[in-house]
Structure 1
């Protein structure tokens, strides 16, 4: 399976409300390895959806932070659009891995 197929399959699992919470959470975490607009958009959508369980929302926030760190590109738009557990986990990952961005995030 090539890389494109893998991230698209992971997005399909993440967005599939019939998949188990564990499968969706694993997909959210695995998506941290891919940096493209479709991945980021899907993670952001699920991070902000209150119908998604907290574990998966938290993993979406973590994955978004990891993607930004890996690409060395902070996004105020992503940061500002997160809330609750997804924002908490996003900030935690940034504080732990990219201390120079601390002034860009809410405390």
Structure 2
């Protein structure tokens, strides 16, 4: 599915939470670019989205950074709650060096 179609689903007030969650997952798997990272960070902080969708945003941000072997600590620092927990749990498990760097840069996250 094209990125534009996935974004339409995410903005569609008639789309179900399950459809939106699937759109987040598909974005995270198929579009691992800076624009997708920005979109997932924005979605994770949008109070209109269900916690399941917010958690998927964090999970797939972690997935993108680990897959591309490039992390953006500043963008990671914008995550909150379950999104941050999901991203950090993957990073801590697969790249403890990134986790340690993040904790040094943003000690308030502890």
* TM-score class normalised by the smaller sequence: 0.7 to 0.9
Change (3 A) 1:53 1:30: same
- Work out whether residues 58 and 85 of structure 1, in 8 Å CA contact, stay in contact via their aligned partners in 2: yes
Counting matched residue pairs gives: 103
In the alignment, structure 1 residue 10 sits paired with structure 2 residue 9: no
TM-score for the superposition, normalised by structure 1: 0.85
In the alignment, structure 1 residue 61 sits paired with structure 2 residue 87: no
**Which residues of 2 match residues 11-30 of structure 1 at below 5 A?**
11-30=7-26
For 1:69 and 1:84, the matched residues in 2 are separated by 20
Root-mean-square deviation (Å): 1.6
For 1:55 and 1:86, the matched residues in 2 are separated by 9
For 2:97 and 2:13, the matched residues in 1 are separated by 37
Unaligned runs of 5+ in 1: none
TM-score for the superposition, normalised by structure 2: 0.83
Unaligned runs of 5+ in 2: 104-109
